[in-house]
């Protein structure tokens, strides 16, 4: 089994129904890949329990709901490790207790360990 780390840095968007990087990571569940997703920068918001955005209208066009937290819960339930850079979480004014259950806030030392152990790296 290959160990792959996927780093996501882009912020969630209320204008799209899903986070493309999270959707792509879901394919690793069906493969023989040990995947860890690392959320950095503005992407830490994807790990918040309260990221579900209700459907609405933009200029009269119906927009679907955005549900980053739901996407992450699916990955966690499938055995994918989800790590959030604690430093970036604090920089956004957020707390670890606001994260989706199963998502772990880690320091830079732990992130370095995970990256060193990876056989492959994806960046979004």
Under a CB-based contact definition with an 8 Å cutoff, are residues 10 and 21 in contact? yes
Q: Print pLDDT tens along the chain (124 aa).
A: 688 898 888 765 544 445 555 655 656 665 778 889 999 998 888 888 866 555 566 677 766 555 556 677 888 888 889 999 999 999 999 999 999 899 999 999 999 999 999 998 888 7
DSSP assigned state of 119: S
pLDDT at 93: 93
DSSP assigned state of 12: P
What's the CATH code of the domain at 51?
3.40.1260.10
User: Model pTM greater than 0.85?
Assistant: no
27-39 confidence digits (pLDDT tens): 666 577 888 999 9
Domain with 86 in it: 2-123
What is the domain count for the chain?
1
Residue 109 parent element (H or E): helix 108-117
């Amino acid at each position: 089994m290959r160990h792959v780390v996927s780093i996501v840095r882009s912020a969630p968007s209320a204008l799209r129904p899903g986070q493309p990087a999270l959707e792509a990571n879901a394919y690793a569940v069906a493969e023989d890949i040990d995947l860890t997703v690392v959320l950095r920068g503005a992407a830490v918001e994807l790990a918040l329990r309260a990221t579900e955005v209700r459907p609405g209208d933009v200029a009269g066009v119906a927009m679907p709901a955005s549900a980053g937290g739901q996407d992450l819960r699916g990955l966690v339930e499938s055995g994918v490790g989800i790590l959030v850079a604690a430093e970036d979480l604090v920089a956004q004014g957020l707390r670890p207790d606001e994260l989706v259950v199963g998502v772990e806030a880690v320091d830079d030392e732990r992130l370095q360990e995970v990256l060193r152990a990876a056989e492959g790296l994806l960046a979004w």
